[in-house]
Amino acid sequence: MVNADKGGQRVGTFLIYLNDVAEGGETVFPKVGLSIVPKKGSAIYFHYANEQGQLDRLSVHSSLPVKKGEKWAAAKWIRERNIYQSY
């Protein structure tokens, strides 16, 4: 459940990989057939809606388990509205 007072739904994600992963940990987009291998300093951006504002099923994604090493990443979630309120 999304709290409408906290910016609404996510509309995009900017994901930055902070380290190399020895094995596994890919970000996969199964409906596109795309697999992103985490490499230190690389980043991906994807959005969740099409031009009509409808959910784009091609944005469905997941992260595969890390088989060897660790995975560190930073995510910036872009929301419909500002999550900070002016006082």
Rounded to two decimals, the pTM is 0.81
pLDDT tens by residue, 55-64: 888 899 999 9
Instruction: Give the span between the Cα atoms of 10 and 47, in whole angstroms.
Output: 8
Band of pLDDT at residue 51, cut at 50, 70 and 90: confident
The residues, ordered by sequence, that sit 6+ positions from 74 with a Cβ below 8 Å of its Cβ are 15, 16, 18
8 Å CB contact between 65 and 1:
no
